[in-house]
Amino acid sequence: MKKLLVILAIGAFAACNNASESTEATVDSLKTAAEVTADSIKADANTAVDSLKAATDAAVDSAKEAVKQ
């Protein structure tokens, strides 16, 4: 009977340990996906800002030329 309890205790410990590792792997993969998404959003925002800045600079240059004439 004691051998059975020891085997069950070891099995339960192993099961809990594997569940913990599995949870950590899932959390890590979710973090990675979130980081990729955040980087993508940041890159899109930077592109939009750069595009807006270029358009603003072109409009200012055009206005300066119109004033000179």
pLDDT digits (tens, 9 = 90+) for 9-51: 777 776 676 665 666 777 778 788 888 888 888 888 889 999 9
Q: What confidence score (pLDDT) does residue 51 get?
A: 92
Output DSSP code: residue 26: H
Q: Given 3-state DSSP classes, what are the helix, strand and coil percentages for the chain, each rounded to the nearest 5?
A: 95, 0, 5
Q: Measure the CA–CA gap between 64 and 12, rounded to whole angstroms.
A: 77
DSSP type of residue 69? -
The helix or strand, by DSSP H or E, that contains position 1, with its residue range, turns out to be: none
pLDDT of 43: 87
